[in-house]
């Protein structure tokens, strides 16, 4: 009997005796937790003073750095193929730095934000599959708070925009699995330094990455 044949028989025996993993079905609640990394694809308008002229006579702009936090996502399966997902996280903290002609200033401020997001998710695989890729589209609401700037009283307006996500779960048992996901959110805010600048647009538009664990109940 050849080695390959023996290995084939052994693999078939293991598959026959291993319990089938039932993945996601209508009525399931799915909780995902892990590390979330927000990487802004940022840009901003040039900043003008209250007189409408460029701030300090320069092409002054701002940039926003990346940050990682604990993320929690929940999904309720509406049926075997569609789920309603909600994203939450501990507050993200971002440094705000000078850009363009004022890049040499380095950090000029900071802010925190929360990005609750609701998506409708599609799961193309049968519920009997341990591997469960999914795609979703929905709405992101980002609220900014604890804004600070060395230039004065910084204010950032809240943002509402489209969010798109792609992810995959691999279920190790009936309840536990591994998860990886990436999504993009349309986040744009109007910024203002009270008594110093006119309002100016800041586009953050981050790519967001998450790796963690899945629990189904």
Question: Degrees (nearest 5) of the Cα angle 36, 77, 88?
Answer: 25
| pLDDT of the residue at 200 | 95
CA gap 65, 39 in Å, rounded:
7
Q: What is the mean pLDDT of the chain?
A: 90
At 171 the pLDDT is 95
Domain boundaries, the chain: 3-216
For the cut 50, the answer to whether the pLDDT of residue 8 exceeds it is no
Distance between CA atoms of residues 179 and 102, nearest Å: 41
Give the lowest-confidence range in 53-62, 121-130, 155-164: 53-62
Task: Cite the beta strand spans of the chain per DSSP E.
Answer: 29-39, 43-44, 60-64, 67-77, 82-89, 92-100, 107-114, 117-122, 131-149, 153-156, 159-171, 176-185, 188-194, 200-203, 207-216
Query: Could you report the per-residue pLDDT of 175-206, keeping only the tens digit for each?
Result: 999 999 999 999 999 999 999 999 999 999 99
β-strand 43-44 against 67-77: which pairing, if any? unpaired
Percent of the chain with pLDDT over 90: 84
Q: Which CATH architecture has domain 3-216?
A: Beta Barrel (2.40)
Q: Is the pLDDT of residue 4 over 70?
A: no
Query: Starting from the edge strand earliest in sequence, which strands make up the sheet with 200-203, in order?
Result: 43-44, 200-203, 188-194, 153-156
Q: What percent of the chain has pLDDT over 70?
A: 90
pLDDT of res. 21 = 58
Task: Enumerate residues 6+ apart whose C-beta is below 8 A from 12.
Answer: none
DSSP 49: B
pLDDT for 7 equals 39
Residue at token pair 């000029």? 108
Give the largest CA-CA distance in the chain.
89
Cα 169 from chain centroid (whole Å): 16
Q: What is the pLDDT of residue 22?
A: 67
| pLDDT tens per residue across span 14-36 | 344 444 556 789 999 999 999 99
Q: What is the pTM of this model?
A: 0.83
If one compares 217 and 2, the residue with the highest pLDDT of the two is 217
Residue 87 has pLDDT above 50, yes or no: yes
- For 136-182, write each residue's pLDDT tens digit: 999 999 999 999 999 899 999 999 999 999 999 999 999 999 999 99
Cβ proximity of 167 and 181 under 8 Å: yes
Mean local confidence (pLDDT), 38-46: 94
The number of C-alpha atoms within 13 Å of 192 and in the hemisphere containing its C-beta is: 9
């Amino acid at each position: 009997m050849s080695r390959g044949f023996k290995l084939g028989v052994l693999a078939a025996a293991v598959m026959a005796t291993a319990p089938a993993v039932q993945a996601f079905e209508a009525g399931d609640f799915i909780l995902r937790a892990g590390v979330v990394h927000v990487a802004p694809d940022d840009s901003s308008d040039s900043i003008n003073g209250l007189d409408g002229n460029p701030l300090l006579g320069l092409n002054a702009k701002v940039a926003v750095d990346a940050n990682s936090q604990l993320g929690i996502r929940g999904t309720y399966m509406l049926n075997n193929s569609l789920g309603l997902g909600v994203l939450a996280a501990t507050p993200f903290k971002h440094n705000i730095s000078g850009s363009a002609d004022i890049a040499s200033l380095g950090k000029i401020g900071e802010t925190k934000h929360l990005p609750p997001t609701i998506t409708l998710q599609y799961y193309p695989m049968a519920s009997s599959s341990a591997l469960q890729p999914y795609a979703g589209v929905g709405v992101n609401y980002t609220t900014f708070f604890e804004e600070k700037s060395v230039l004065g009283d910084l204010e950032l307006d809240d943002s509402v925009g489209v969010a798109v996500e792609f992810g995959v779960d691999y279920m190790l048992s009936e309840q536990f699995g591994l998860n990886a996901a990436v999504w993009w959110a349309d986040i744009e805010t109007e910024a203002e330094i009270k008594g110093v600048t006119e309002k100016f647009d800041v586009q953050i538009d981050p790519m967001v990455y998450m790796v963690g664990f899945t629990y189904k109940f």
